[in-house]
Amino acid sequence: MGYGSLFASFGIGAVLGAFVMPKLREKLNCDQLIVIGAMGFAVTTFILSLSSNFYFAGAGMFLGGISWTLVLSTLTTLVQQVVASWVRARALAIFLGVFFGGMATGSILWGWVASHLTISISLFISALGLIIANSLAYAFTSGQKLIADLTPSDHLHLPHPEENPRYEQGPVMVTVEYSVQHQKVEDFSLAMEDLRHIRIRDGAFFWTLFQDIEDRKKFVECFMIESWLEHLRQHERASIADRDAQNKVSRFLNGKIPPRVKHFIAYDRPKKKRF
């Protein structure tokens, strides 16, 4: 009866947390909500480790329910914000798998600690670790712009082929020729690293950057995609953050010579007839 009552207190706190979340989000950002929720859960764990009074434990579980809702709902929201729409379901599935898998693994760890020490000591250590970990995370990440704007930008112009390839035809090779300012070559190569990550993220299985041996200011970006359909999807996946990365590269180019984009597709060679 007592055990069920404690979890009922936790559930009531979780429901109340769902009602207060909208008000808190008006005044606090996501980092602050996560830290407050984590600290609240740490206080709950401290109460359970130090107090044997049932009513104190119930109050602690009530606070733990509120904190649980704050953290889980905020993290779930963040996961959906930091990934593009075309991978959102997969990212959310991975997040939930890691989150609840971590809980299962943590249960084994703290069960082992409790069996070698005591339940109170294991709860106290876990609460202390929760406070330290979240304090460090907040100190190193607070105020940083860690969430890119992945809103589709539609800034990539679709190619106009002489004859439309079949969707499954491929692989497709795309080359982009750049004319770089002489004194900006090193800055250009560093900026191209962001483009490399974008190309690979959006489906390219090969990427490299070539430099003309006769004209050291001329570079050719080359990447390959599995099929024509996947390349069309690359255009759909382009975001505002991708456009910003492209604009960063453009700052190091010779403004008089715009980048030249070419598309190549694997040629279906006719099969030799056998008699």
CA distance 80 to 90: 10
Sheet holding 204-211, edge to edge: 204-211, 218-225, 172-179, 260-265
What does the pLDDT read at residue 82?
Answer: 79
Three-state DSSP at 142 gives: coil
| Number of neighbouring beta carbons within 10 Å of residue 227 | 19
Quick check: 62 and 12 in contact, CB under 8 A? yes
CA distance 247 to 149: 15
Residues in the chain: 275
Quick check: 208 and 117 in contact, CB under 8 A? no
Phi, psi of 268, deg, nearest 5: -80, 95
Digitized pLDDT (tens) for each residue of the chain, 275 residues in all: 888 998 899 999 999 988 888 888 888 877 788 888 889 999 999 998 888 888 888 999 999 999 999 888 888 888 887 787 778 888 889 999 998 999 899 889 989 999 998 888 998 999 998 899 888 887 777 655 556 666 777 777 778 888 888 889 889 999 999 999 988 888 999 999 999 998 998 889 999 999 999 988 899 999 999 999 989 888 888 888 888 888 899 889 987 788 899 999 998 777 776 65
What residues contact 266, with CB distance under 8 A and at least 6 apart? Answer: 169, 170, 171, 172
Q: Which of 125, 131, 120 is nearest to 50 (CA)?
A: 120
What does the pLDDT read at residue 15?
Answer: 92
Domains along the sequence of the chain with CATH: 2-141 (1.20.1250.20), 172-265 (3.30.70.100)
**pTM (predicted TM-score):** 0.64
What does the pLDDT read at residue 149?
Answer: 63
What does the pLDDT read at residue 263?
Answer: 92
CA distance 87 to 78: 14
